[in-house]
Amino acid sequence: MKKIFLLTVTAFATAALLGYTFKKPEPKPLTPECYISCFNIETKEMIELDATKPGFAMLHPHPTTFKLENPKGSTIEFAAADGKKASGYFLKSKNKSNKWLFVIQEWWGLNDNIKKEAEKFYGDLSNVNVLAIDMYDGKIATTPDSAMLYMSSAKKERLESIVNAAITYAGKSADIYTVGWCFGGGWSLQSTILAGKQAKGCVMYYGRPEKDINRLKTINCDVIGFFGNQDKAISQELVNTFEADMKVAGKKISLYRYEAGHGFANPSNPSFNKEYTQDAYTKAIAFLKERMK
């Protein structure tokens, strides 16, 4: 009897030990960073995911209210392949021109600040059509919460449709140049890729780079980028990888890095630096002028 009891106790102990040994730990929830690094997510989707990161909104405090007085351009609509209308703020060249600059908004939307930037480029570049594309279909954020909602809701299929509609509106003979900041910096590069052989120059301010080298190989023009070494959204490591990937893809890129944080070219942002903003703008204008000859 005692022997049976001991065997029974031993069996239970062994079973318990084996159960403990082979018990799988409880899986932890995946973070946005893990989603990005562990799965093959397209860069366009990664831009969308950026808006869901808790720290991302903190890099964009409430924007300063700015009202554009006496606008030089007008809002236009153009057909998109998905059946919905697309729109933008348009400044037509004074003389007939096949040169088009697409200006792409920050995560706030196509507000008066972006329209002002479009007018500035229009005034400093000669004989060019400037189209500030509305990527949010008329929605403009005035708080970080609403910007997070609009940016995370801007799906890649609709954004691609809007950009392709703008390319179609410009025409098959158009030479297309792009510029954008933050969300728009990433989509400046994506628009350049979508423009194919029509792309002639890409300017991106602290936007998420394309990570797929095969897509980078399709770029048909030079790229210039402006980034902040203190940027907590687009890290130095990410920029270094972008530079290396462009080299592998056989593409020309000029990178300028400033001791500044994310949004250093936006007067509403605490990271705003007037000196860096002017330096970057001077370089961007020179880059575009050289390629618009």
pLDDT at 90 over 70: yes
**pLDDT digit string (tens) for 8-40?**
444 444 444 444 334 434 444 444 444 444 446
Rounded to 5 degrees, what angle do the CA atoms 109, 113, 118 make? 95
**pLDDT digit string (tens) for 189-215?**
999 999 999 999 999 999 999 999 999
Question: What pTM did the predictor assign?
Answer: 0.86
pLDDT at 43 over 60: yes
Least confident window among 11-15, 78-82, 94-98: 11-15
3-state DSSP assignment of residue 288? helix
Domains of the chain with CATH codes: 2-291 (3.40.50.1820)
Q: Please tell me the distance from the alpha carbon of residue 131 to that of residue 65, in angstroms, as a whole number.
A: 22
What does DSSP say about strands 74-79 and 85-91: parallel, antiparallel, or unpaired?
A: antiparallel
Q: Give the pLDDT confidence score for residue 239 in this predicted structure.
A: 98
